[in-house]
Amino acid sequence: MPRISRTSRKSRTAVADATNASPARTTKHVALLVETSRTFGREILSGVNRYIAEHGHWSVFVELRALDSQVPRWLASWRGDGIIARTATAAMADAIAATGLPGVELRASKLPHKLPFVGVDNRDLGRLVAEHFIDNGFTNFAVFDLDTERYFEERRDNFRAVLASRGHACRELHADRQGERPTDWERQQAEIAHWVASLPKPVGIMACTDQLAFWLLDACRRAGVAVPEEAAVVGVENDQTLCTLASPQLSSVAFEGERIGYEAAALLERMMAGEPPPTESLLVPPRGLVVRQSSDIMAIDDPQVVAAVRYIREHACHGINVADVVKHAGLSRTLLERRMRRAVGRTPGEEIIRLRFNRVKRLLVETKLSLAAIADRCGFEHPQYMAEAFKRLFGMTPGSYRAGRR
């Protein structure tokens, strides 16, 4: 099985020399300039590796990298066939362009690179976070962002646009571009703490990266703002180190990093075979929101509706029905439906169906389970009923949905 491996400087030079001396070769030589220091980058490399395993061998040059690592010295004289990169600096963008090789860019930055782009669909990302807060009853919203990269702005703008379409305003704070410098840390955190303290409570806050969310949680502690009771926080990227080290642990939007890597490799293969680069970006929807302690709360001031919604979320896929929810809430069906619709915009029956099919979609994408197994795990007695209802709701069969998301 092909593997992505590290190479020393001497071995890279030797391989490059051998490559230069062999004008006719069938194995493609590809450089992967992708950071290995973050979960997303490692998932991308895993997707590239899966493509290689399925479609044939590449000779792959890769090294342990941070996002802002320097340009590899060997790149200027390397005579390879293609490059897949997440470009963080102008020097790297210039060095890649200077090779004249087919390439795929995986970072939608403001740098002037002209490579075709494969990456995350930030429109879906903003919607996921906004709907998470709205579904949990929040009516106050804020976003903590950076304006240094285009994709940060897209996340912010799409989050705000979804909220605006539902009639909600959104407050905003821009992070200091120099916030990572230790000398600026205390000043920055004091500013964030002051901002958080000034927000109407309870409030749902999206941070445009997990790093920003990590800073935000620290500022909440300094301001004496309880998370998630007063401020629910969601980050972006689902970096395992940051999300699990955060206190409380951080909810975050997970990307389809492996699929992005796979699609980038497939695109590069076509370009190395002579196909012209595409004119449109390939955008992959995020995998979904991973809910952890930082946003696991419902901002609903009706305790019986809270009890009903929590019961549904815990048991929707266990075969419960509306009568079970009514009994648990201690209200009549009519009264519960009226109060729940006022609080979250859905009746108990609609909420059960929504959560069941959310899980159906996750299992279709993330597993190879049969429809019968998925139906059983999502609380449906008959797989055929689940499949027919899925098509009515989403305009496609479960099989088509699975094929389109892989």
Which residues, including other chains, have CB under 8 Å from residue 316's CB and lie 6 or more apart? 351, 352, 355, 356, 359, 379
Of the ranges 148-162, 174-188, 278-292, 367-381, which one carries the lowest mean pLDDT score? Answer: 174-188
Answer whether residue 4 is part of any domain.
no
- Residue 82: predicted pLDDT: 96
Please state the rounded mean pLDDT for residues 163-170. 95
Answer whether residue 54 is part of any domain.
yes
H-state helical runs in 321-368: 322-329, 333-344, 348-366
β-strands 251-254, 288-290: how paired?
antiparallel
| Residue 126 sits in the same domain as residue 244 | yes
Tell me which amino acid residue 161 is.
A
Answer whether residue 345 is part of any domain.
yes
What is the pTM assigned to this prediction? 0.76
- Residue 114: predicted pLDDT: 79
| Residue 132 sits in the same domain as residue 152 | yes
Answer whether residue 1 is part of any domain.
no
**Residues 318-327: tens digit of each pLDDT:** 999 999 999 9
| Residue 227 sits in the same domain as residue 147 | yes
> What percent of the chain has pLDDT above 70?
91
Answer whether residue 326 is part of any domain.
yes
- Residue 12: predicted pLDDT: 43
Answer whether residue 314 is part of any domain.
yes
User: To which H or E segment does residue 233 belong?
Assistant: strand 231-237
Residue 374 confidence (pLDDT) above 90: yes
Residue 109 confidence (pLDDT) above 80: no
Residue 267 confidence (pLDDT) above 80: yes
H-state helical runs in 36-149: 39-55, 90-99, 122-135
- Residue 226: predicted pLDDT: 87
| Average model confidence (pLDDT) across the chain | 88
| Residue 238 sits in the same domain as residue 263 | no
- Residue 6: predicted pLDDT: 36
Q: How confident is the model at residue 384 (pLDDT cuts 50, 70, 90)?
A: very high
| Residue 172 sits in the same domain as residue 90 | no
Whether residue 230 contacts residue 246, with contact meaning beta carbons closer than 8 Å, is answered with no
- Residue 4: predicted pLDDT: 39
Identify the bridge partners of residue 253 per DSSP, sorted by sequence position.
236, 289
Q: Bigger pLDDT: 111 or 386?
A: 386
Q: In terms of residue numbers, what domain contains 139?
A: 122-255+289-295
| Residue 126 sits in the same domain as residue 247 | yes
| Residue 327 sits in the same domain as residue 395 | yes
Answer whether residue 2 is part of any domain.
no
Q: Which of 236, 267, 295 is at the close of a domain? A: 295
Question: What is the CATH classification number for the domain harbouring 97?
Answer: 3.40.50.2300
- Smallest Cα–Cα separation from 376: which of 359, 400, 390? 359
Domain count for the chain: 3
| Residue 150 sits in the same domain as residue 77 | no
Inter-CA distances, 305 with 231, 338, 358, Å: 21, 10, 21
Question: What is the CATH classification number for the domain harbouring 397?
Answer: 1.10.10.60
Distance CA 299, CA 138 (A): 5
| Residue 154 sits in the same domain as residue 263 | no
Residue 329 confidence (pLDDT) above 90: yes
Please state the rounded mean pLDDT for residues 331-351. 92
- Residue 219: predicted pLDDT: 96
Our CA angle for 40, 43, 45, nearest 5°, is 115
- Residue 16: predicted pLDDT: 44
HSE-CB of 48 using CA atoms within 13 angstroms = 30
- Smallest Cα–Cα separation from 289: which of 129, 152, 405? 129
| Residue 57 sits in the same domain as residue 99 | yes
Residue 5 confidence (pLDDT) above 50: no
- Residue 297: predicted pLDDT: 83
Residue 11 confidence (pLDDT) above 70: no
282 phi and psi angles, rounded to 5 deg = -100, 110
| Residue 251 sits in the same domain as residue 336 | no
Whether residue 387 contacts residue 347, with contact meaning beta carbons closer than 8 Å, is answered with no
Residue 18 confidence (pLDDT) above 70: no
Which residues, including other chains, have CB under 8 Å from residue 46's CB and lie 6 or more apart? 257, 258, 261
**Residues 118-139: tens digit of each pLDDT:** 999 988 899 999 999 998 889 9
| Residue 251 sits in the same domain as residue 261 | no
Please state the rounded mean pLDDT for residues 358-386. 92
Of the ranges 103-117, 140-154, 234-248, 271-285, which one carries the lowest mean pLDDT score? Answer: 103-117
Answer whether residue 273 is part of any domain.
yes
Whether residue 72 contacts residue 22, with contact meaning beta carbons closer than 8 Å, is answered with no
**Residues 19-72: tens digit of each pLDDT:** 444 445 688 999 999 999 899 999 999 999 999 999 978 999 988 888 888 888
Q: Which of 240, 271, 295 is at the close of a domain? A: 295
